[in-house]
Amino acid sequence: MSVEYSGAGDPKRSLELLWDVRERPRRGPRPRLTVDRIVRAATEIADGEGLDALSMRRIADTLGVAPMSIYTYVPGKSELIDVMMDRALGEATPPREDLPWRDKLRHIARENWDLYHRHPWMLQVVTARPPLGPNLLDKYEYELRAVDGLGLTDVEMDSVVSLVTGFAASSARSSVDVAQAERRTGITDREWWEATSPFLEKVIDPGRYPLGMRVGAAAGEEYDGAIGPEHAFEFGLERVLDGIEALVRSRAAGEDA
């Protein structure tokens, strides 16, 4: 599975597409395509088959046009991925303003978790240079509002948002990997364990791994597999929030002092 990098194309062209400020011809026939149609087609391909399957030719075939016509609207795959990312981020919804801050961050984390499951290809995109489009900036704004007024510094607010969204992405990656492993191998986790267990029972001495055998058996029964991505996500999210709460309390205690 290949990795793509956001911001890898022409920054000016990407920003023009992201903010829809491209210069359009004032005369001539009505365009047969639009950037929106191209992005929707590209997203459907990536959703179903991953970014490895995405190419300008594949998009053109899907839309029933010549490959070169795509380049009239989008300069290349890199710029297209930037727009795809921003459009996908626009699907996430902000938390209600009346919620407590922990519930707001839970909502944000779960929205990110759901987003990566709807569009697993997003996990193939390294966003060290994020696509600075309107949806990304809107999302960042309401995520910051979730922790505004808690006594944190601006840098701490940014770090809290990065911690929560990064945790959601990492957890979603594990979950997506499990689903893809089952789909690509054709066997479930339970079937894999049933195939390996008879051999392991012969070669493993339980007395050598008493904790591993006991805890592993309990976890395997609970998860019905080697790992439980949803359980890990929910458990880890609460521990992340506990840590943030400790930070918030320490800031409040410092102000009182």
Q: What is the pLDDT of residues 104-121, one digit of tens each?
A: 999 999 999 999 999 999
Domain total of the chain = 2
Indicate if 78 and 100 belong to the same structural domain. Answer: no
Lowest mean pLDDT segment, chosen from 21-25, 36-40, 96-100, 154-158: 21-25
Q: Tell me the CATH number at 84.
A: 1.10.10.60
Say if residue 109 is exposed, middle or buried (CB neighbours under 10 Å; 0-12, 13-18, 19+): buried
Indicate if 8 and 27 belong to the same structural domain. Answer: yes
Indicate if 116 and 52 belong to the same structural domain. Answer: no
Query: What does pTM read for this prediction?
Result: 0.91
Indicate if 65 and 128 belong to the same structural domain. Answer: no
Indicate if 65 and 125 belong to the same structural domain. Answer: no
Indicate if 63 and 182 belong to the same structural domain. Answer: no
Per-residue confidence (pLDDT) for residue 30, from 0 to 100 = 62
For the cut 60, the answer to whether the pLDDT of residue 162 exceeds it is: yes
Nearest Cα residue to 8 out of 166, 130, 140, 135: 130
Indicate if 125 and 243 belong to the same structural domain. Answer: yes
45, 60, 88 — which closes off a domain? 88
55, 88, 121 — which closes off a domain? 88
Boundaries of domain holding 51: 4-88
Indicate if 128 and 64 belong to the same structural domain. Answer: no
Q: Which two tokens stand for residue 83?
A: 């727009």
39, 56, 88 — which closes off a domain? 88
Q: How far apart are CA 257 and CA 254, in angstroms?
A: 5
Tens digits of residue pLDDT in 34-91: 999 999 999 999 999 999 999 999 999 999 999 999 999 999 999 999 999 999 999 9
Q: Tell me the CATH number at 242.
A: 1.10.357.10
